[in-house]
Amino acid sequence: MAARQTNTDVARPPVRLYLVTPAVNDAGRLADELAGLLPLADIAATLVRIELAPERVMIDTVKQIAPAVQAAGVALLVAEHADIVARAGADGAHLTGVDALTAALPSLKPNRIAGVGGLRSRHDAMLAGVAGADYIMFGEPGPDMRRPPLDAVIDRVAWWSELFVIPCVAYAASLGEIGPLCAAGADFTAVGDAVFADPRGAAAALREASERLHEAEALA
């Protein structure tokens, strides 16, 4: 997940998708589903959310999913549990908040990705960037499944993309948010329930997400 170019004369890389899975209940089933989904779009990373369990169980869960993701050329990130990333064969972790990021960095750097979300202010985002985050995420739901209004997310993404080179991931709560977030300057657009909870099925939703991303890129 590379940083954007700072030279305005250099074309900006295309915005890519970042897929957020539901909490894992059946690792084998999710691995099979991802193997079918990932070739359908240009996906940079897949964030796997695993429920708290004995360490060995969590490691085995990630190990079951990793081959399907990584065989597609997609980075596999684990939500929160940075301590199991290396042993599970994942590519990195996504942490919530500056303190969690800072605590996780020694186990992730320099070989693995350290991303962060759950940043409540611009100051927190800047602190995360200075600490060494590989990307910043804005707009994802919190523990109560609520998220900031879309206008607030767009404002934060536009501010970050204008001033900083660390990549920005913007979370789209619906497929209709992909275009505005892309236009605001996101380097990656994250989709979770917008894909996996779509009544048409995840494959149809992911195809639409990809189409919306391409449309937004064409208008940029």
Instruction: For residue 197, tell me if it sits in a domain.
Output: yes
Instruction: For residue 5, tell me if it sits in a domain.
Output: no
- Condensed to tens digits (0 to 9), the pLDDT of residues 102-156 reads 999 999 999 999 999 999 999 999 999 999 999 999 999 887 778 889 999 999 9
Q: Token pair of 188, please?
A: 């990656």
Flag whether the pTM goes above 0.75.
yes
Place of tokens 């759950």: 118
Instruction: For residue 8, tell me if it sits in a domain.
Output: no
Instruction: For residue 11, tell me if it sits in a domain.
Output: no
Distance CA 163, CA 183 (A): 16
Q: Which domain holds residue 210?
A: 16-219
Into how many domains does the chain fold?
1
Q: Token pair of 33, please?
A: 């589903």
Q: Token pair of 130, please?
A: 């200075």
Place of tokens 């919190």: 142
Instruction: For residue 71, tell me if it sits in a domain.
Output: yes
Distance CA 125, CA 138 (A): 9
The Cβ of residue 65 has, within 10 Å, a number of other Cβ atoms equal to: 27
- Condensed to tens digits (0 to 9), the pLDDT of residues 8-40 reads 445 678 899 999 999 998 999 999 999 999 999
Instruction: For residue 4, tell me if it sits in a domain.
Output: no
Judge whether 194 and 175 are in contact, CB under 8 Å.
yes
Which CATH number belongs to the domain containing residue 120 in this structure?
Answer: 3.20.20.70
Instruction: For residue 10, tell me if it sits in a domain.
Output: no
Instruction: For residue 3, tell me if it sits in a domain.
Output: no
